[in-house]
Amino acid sequence: MLPDSRVKKTVAPRVPTLKKPSVLAEMRMGAVEPEGSYDTIRIEGQHAADAISDWTLTTFLDCSLENLTFETVLFDHAAITSTRFAGCGMVHSSFVNASICSSTFEHCRFGACDAWDCETRSVIFTGCRFGYLNLRGAKWHDVVFQDCVIDDFDAAHAVLGRIAFPGTTLHAINLQHAVADDVDLRGAELQEIHDVAGLRGTTMLVDQISQLAQSFAARLGIRLEEPEGHEL
């Protein structure tokens, strides 16, 4: 074991504290257009009329999006800053090549969420549910998943820095060829690891390693056997 002076401590994410603007202008979600710029607006309690909501290249600054439901919503190449999402439901969402900064997502439900090549910094997800979260090639820094459920967390080839998962269930996680630094898995419930080598740069508890022994062995091609009279 390395001496204490050489042991690197996991650095916690730097998360945002949103200051709600004193006045938010009400807006209909149908009025949002591709390449539109929106500042201090609130869109609340609405359902998308179209099967596909194209919000590509939009800019949201100091906005609040609350209790909105979408079949498919496209935030590709969007710039989202100091914005709050709360109680939103998205069957399919795309944040490809988007930039998300100093924002929060509260109790949102995502079916398939494509966020490959997305750049994110200082974001909190609280009580959110993801079916499939695709972060391939993304750059995510200072992100917290608090009390979330993620069925499939796919961050292959991503760059991840200062990410934490307190109280979050990860049914499957893939960090193949990812660059991870200060990725804190200690508060997560982990069920399946797709690539053991991809865990380099993460922090885990000894108990978590023990619970995942069979998953690790399967990925490494190791056959586990108990002494005679015992069963795995």
Residue 12 lies in a domain: no
User: Which domain, by its residues, includes 70?
Assistant: 28-220
Going by C-alpha positions, the residue among 32, 37, 95 that lies closest to residue 68 is: 32
Helix-, strand-, coil-residue percentages of the chain, each rounded to 5:
10, 45, 45
Distance between CA atoms of residues 101 and 121, nearest Å: 5
Instruction: Return the pLDDT at 147.
Output: 98
Q: What is residue 193's DSSP assignment?
A: B
Is 232 among the domain residues?
no
46: its two tokens: 């609405």
Any domain includes 16: no
Is position 161 within any domain?
yes
Q: How far is CA 182 from the centre of its chain?
A: 15
Domain contains 8: no
Rounded to an integer, the average pLDDT of 73-86 is 97
- Asked whether residue 3 is domain-assigned, the answer is no
Rounded to whole angstroms, how far apart are CA atoms 146 and 143?
10
Report the pLDDT value the prediction gives residue 211, as an integer from 0 to 100.
75
Dihedral angle over CA of 86, 88, 93, 98, nearest 10: -20
CATH number for position 79: 2.160.20.80
Question: 32 lies in a domain?
Answer: yes
Is pLDDT of 161 > 90?
A: yes
Q: What percent of the chain has pLDDT over 90?
A: 70
pLDDT higher at 117 or 214: 117
